[in-house]
Amino acid sequence: MSQRILVGTASWADPGFIDTWYPHGLAKQELLPWYAQHFPLVEVNSSFYAIPEPKAVAHWVDQPPPHFVFDIKAHKALSRHAAKLADLPKDLRPLASVDGEKVKLTPALEDALLGKLLDAIKPLTDAGKLGAFLVQLSPSFSPKYHAIEELSAIIEALRPHGLAIELRNRNWMSSELASSVVDYFAKQSVSLVTVDAPDSPHFMVMPKSDVVTNPKLAYIRLHGRDAKAFTRGKTVSERFNYEYSPDELRETAATAQKLLHDAEDVHVVFNNNHANLAPKAAEYFMQIAKDTGLPVAPRSP
């Protein structure tokens, strides 16, 4: 089995990256090619807010080199976050009912969104550049009000393309539930995301769980370790404003090495998206992992 670690950031066009990491004045159409010179993978964040048009996705395909991989973050409505009618594709809005301003995720709407998402990313699948789908669940998706089996429609639709799910309510990993949750993900061959986050008992902060539930893919997402910022920050930049230390990145390399014992690929995604902290950490991590002798997928020449 050929194993590899693919490293990237959550977005290639984050405003902080453009302001502080990319060369000044770089044209918008040059961002992705320049990014792909540094990393072999990107986690697409814009698809969380709006399902992209297939033409836009086809344009992505042509910009990076052949080995480059895109992970696609599922739309906010699919991941049980609050979504407004305007967040849905126009042709699906007649299917939606709303409670106040919030769209209700009915089975019919869920199926339609999944179909729309799969149609949108077809250029990636055709080109062999789709890494996996990521579903980042809302903290409100808790075992008090939900069953893990409610994700079955998403799993059925997206699992054939590779699927990682990030839980955002730590009660799923309580002593009473953890083993059953891990078993469910393993039986479904879905990757349970290993979350690097603050050491905090807050319900929105997941405990670290470095288990492999899909032998083809393990997935690490790094959000920073500032508990106050993570739980109280008002903006994405505030919540994930954290600079990883070399020791913390070496710790992450050890986690990736452990996951490689049971997984073919490990995706390591830095989501500490404040200014240039994510790409800086990702580049440093790649060097640390390579120096450790880990099979890190190379950047483009």
Over the stretch 142-189, which tens digit does the pLDDT of each residue have?
999 999 999 999 999 999 999 999 999 999 999 889 999 999 999 999
Asked whether the predicted pLDDT for residue 301 surpasses 70, the reply is: no
The reported pLDDT for the residue numbered 232 is: 85
- The pLDDT mean for the chain works out to 95
Asked whether the predicted pLDDT for residue 300 surpasses 80, the reply is: no
Kindly report, residue by residue over 57-113, the tens digit of the pLDDT.
Answer: 999 999 999 999 999 999 999 999 999 999 999 999 999 999 888 999 999 999 999
Among 138, 134, 203, 195, CA closest to 165: 134
The reported pLDDT for the residue numbered 148 is: 96
Kindly report, residue by residue over 168-179, the tens digit of the pLDDT.
Answer: 999 999 988 999
Kindly report, residue by residue over 198-255, the tens digit of the pLDDT.
Answer: 989 999 999 988 999 999 999 999 999 999 888 888 888 788 899 999 999 999 999 9
DSSP calls for 201-268 = --TTSPPP----S-TTEEEEEE--S-HHHHHH-SSHHHHT-----HHHHHHHHHHHHHHTTT-SEEEE
Listed by start position, the domains of the chain span 4-291
Among 236, 241, 209, 237, CA closest to 225: 241
The reported pLDDT for the residue numbered 239 is: 86
Cα–Cα distance, 193 to 267 (Å, whole number): 10
The reported pLDDT for the residue numbered 296 is: 96
Asked whether the predicted pLDDT for residue 6 surpasses 60, the reply is: yes
The CATH class of the 4-291 domain is alpha beta
Three-class secondary structure of residue 167 per DSSP: coil
The reported pLDDT for the residue numbered 233 is: 81
Query: Within 10 Å of residue 116's Cβ, how many Cβ atoms?
Result: 15
Asked whether the predicted pLDDT for residue 39 surpasses 60, the reply is: yes
Structure tokens belonging to residue 246:
């070399």
Q: How confident is the model at residue 1 (pLDDT cuts 50, 70, 90)?
A: very low
Going by C-beta distance under 8 Å and a sequence separation of 6 or more, which residues neighbour residue 116?
51, 89, 92
Cα–Cα distance, 265 to 8 (Å, whole number): 14
Cα–Cα distance, 166 to 154 (Å, whole number): 13
Structure tokens belonging to residue 62:
């042509």
Strand partners, 225: none
